[in-house]
Structure 1
Amino acid sequence: MSSSKTKLERWEHRLKKVFDEIDSELEAEGACKKFKRHPNRPPAGATSNREDDGLFDLGAAFTVGIGSQHGPGYVVQARIATLDDVPAATQHKFEAEVARRLRQKLPAAFPGIQLHIDRDGPVYKIHGDLSLGTL
């Protein structure tokens, strides 16, 4: 059996690297420092997966886009991993900051591919050319 990854796996790996980079930046900057990290989560950088440690849990999940104004894409998941109460305004501001950074970083991670980050109802979505191109 071949150990090579499919185009989809390579595409999603690139996307995860972008989210991991944003996570690392936010942790280093002390973003949302008024919140305490969930007691079951190790400190930032302590695990092999940035989603599982530190104060932030960032990622994306594919959706076929039924009922969406933007069609298929990746719903951005940006969570502050805490037991503290996170006011809705703070969560929205955090999500907007993650979306802003995605807009900056995706062109370098996916050169020549037109991707957009827009609100789609209550969430941000990465949409556009999801054809996998030449990976």
Structure 2
Amino acid sequence: MRHPKLQQWDDTMKKMFDEIDNHLEDEWGDHFPLHPNRAGRGKTSNKEQDGLFNVGTFFSAGYGSELGRGYVIDIHMVTLSRIPDEVREEIEEEVVSLVRELLPKYFPDRDLKISRDGNVYKIHGDFSLGNL
């Protein structure tokens, strides 16, 4: 069983990354062939399961990190084709820019930032759930 405020937090984060997924699919979805075992865009009820992109986050306790705990941004392109490093970097920069733009919209009363943490980007800041 999960705390309702944590569930709401996760649901909000998912909505934000679904919006980012839509943007990436519009911009890049036709640039690379889809993996043969992957459903086409919009063919499932969950954007994580279809289309070229699976973007989201996973929580890290931050051990060994200068930034501490936070949500690591995870970007997967589901294709068998080789993706040039410069294209990966361009897509990563686009995701980071979109997260910076959308964090205040989805989490308006939070002090959240996105920063490079080693070789990944991490959302960090105020993750408090209020009085439990």
Residue matched to 1:102: 99
Residue matched to 1:26: 24
- Give runs of ≥4 in structure 1 deviating > 6 Å: none
Residue matched to 1:56: 53
Which of 73, 77, 80 is 1:76 aligned to? 73
- CA drift of 1:4 comes to 9.0
Letter in 2 for 1:27: E
Which of 5, 8, 16 is 1:7 aligned to? 5
- Say if 2:29 and 2:51, in contact at 8 Å, map to a contact too: no
In 1: Cα distance, 2:85 partner to 2:120 partner: 13
In 1: Cα distance, 2:55 partner to 2:112 partner: 18
For the aligned residue pairs, the C-alpha RMSD in angstroms reads: 1.8
What is the aligned residue count? 131
Is 1:42 the counterpart of 2:39? The answer is yes
- Segments of 5+ residues of structure 2 without an aligned counterpart are none
In 1: Cα distance, 2:51 partner to 2:92 partner: 17
Letter in 1 for 2:4: T
- Say if 2:14 and 2:56, in contact at 8 Å, map to a contact too: yes
- Say if 2:34 and 2:79, in contact at 8 Å, map to a contact too: yes
In 2: Cα distance, 1:68 partner to 1:12 partner: 22
Letter in 2 for 1:93: E
Percent identity of equivalent pairs: 47
Q: Structure 1 length as normaliser, TM-score?
A: 0.89
SS of 1:33's partner is coil
